Structure 1
């Protein structure tokens, strides 16, 4: 896990700290570490959707745990980003059902259309394309996740429409 080439401002606002404390409050005092995953989500959302080492260190400090305990979680789960990503991250499911139904080809198509390789972000900072493990929607294969939403039964035409809608600002990333 190496993200030292990226700089990130740490901004734990009073509002964010209130939310973090609320999450920590769901667990006994001697089990603060149990709040790690939801705290990481909140902190990542408040910091352009990625987590630098200094930011992970700050989370460790808040939870009174060792930084390595945070690094292990961030490096294990694909929902945490270790470098800056595009505004729209296309997460293509690449496990059996989706693979058999052409997800890999659609991911390649998307990368080619955007002029990037898997794991890269477009120069304008708009799109990142990644392959992820099972998203739990096998009946809707091939599919991808964009923000909080699944885009199902994908075709090249549907991918083109999703890209166009993102460029036009018509895709809401979060169900909030």
Structure 2
């Protein structure tokens, strides 16, 4: 009996180890979660923060106790990504590990967890389509297919001119205005970086947004529905037009 229990426990441990090995190379958003050297992303390609951005690094770290500098990893990754044209090279992560005094793996595990960090090159305008259920029900798959066809790329591929890439992101909190995309604009570096939502999209409107960016314009973000204000109903309110009446038993002594 004891041998059976021991064998069963060993089988569980082996299964867990196999599962852990499988997770080490799992795919999230079509991107393998492991580093492979390329000609433009390997330990021999240097990365240094610019002098202006080093001042930003110091300002970011000033918000944390000196013995908790690792708390600044996320904003430092964001700063490095903006400087690097929208993606994180292996040496940009190594530099952050050096600055905050942790093993590089501690930075890698943060960068691979959050989908807002890109570990491969993206376009100057990185377009992310919300793929969560409310947006999907409202046509996000059609929006994505329209973008990919119009730009002539696959998901996570960069256009030949380097201007656009299309990815997927999970819920960005605009379910009431589904479907939506977000555009990360790296055209002006750190100082001009923007991250804008475009909501209530149609296939025709999303192409117009892309073409505006191609011309160097900044299309109006937010809802793209001509009759909506922010997340209000199209055409204006139809209910709750005045002060609501209190319930009849608000004064419990009168009930």
Q: TM-score range by the shorter chain?
A: over 0.9
Deviation by residue 1:65-99 (Cα, 9 ceiling, x = unmatched): 11001111111111111011101111000001101
Alignment of structure 1 residues 25-174 onto 2, 5 Å: 25-147=62-184, 148-171=195-218
1:98 partner SS: helix
When structure 1 is superposed on structure 2, of 116-125 and 1-10 the one drifting more is: 1-10
TM-score by length of 2: 0.65
**Structure 1 length as normaliser, TM-score?**
0.93
- The match for 1:5 is 38
Contact conserved, 1:121 with 1:128, CA < 8 A, in 2?
Answer: yes
For the aligned residues, what is the CA RMSD?
Answer: 1.3
Q: CA deviation at 1:163?
A: 1.4
In 1, Cα distance between the equivalents of 2:85 and 2:212? Answer: 21
Q: Deviations over 1:117-173 (max 9, x none)?
A: 11111111011000111111111100000121100001011111111101100027x
> Structure 2: which 5+ residue stretches go unaligned?
1-33, 185-194, 220-255
In structure 2, distance between residues paired with 1:28 and 1:96: 41
**Which has the larger Rg?**
2
Question: Residue 89 of structure 1 aligns to a residue in which SS?
Answer: strand
Give the structure, 1 or 2, with the largest relative contact order (CA under 8 Å, sep 6 or more). 1
Partner-residue secondary structure (3-state), 2:136:
helix
**Runs of 4+ with deviation above 6 angstroms:** none
The 8 Å contact of residues 140 and 153 in structure 1, kept in 2 or not, is answered as yes
Per-residue deviation at 1:9? 4.7
Any gaps of 5 or more consecutive residues in structure 1? none
Q: CA deviation at 1:116?
A: 0.7
Q: Is the 8 A contact 1:3 1:83 kept in 2?
A: no
Return the alpha-carbon distance in structure 1 between the equivalents of residues 52 and 154 of structure 2. Answer: 37
Shift, 1:6, TM fit: 4.5
Aligned pair count? 172
**CA offsets 1:50-79 (integer angstroms, 9 cap, x no match):** 111111101100010110011111111111
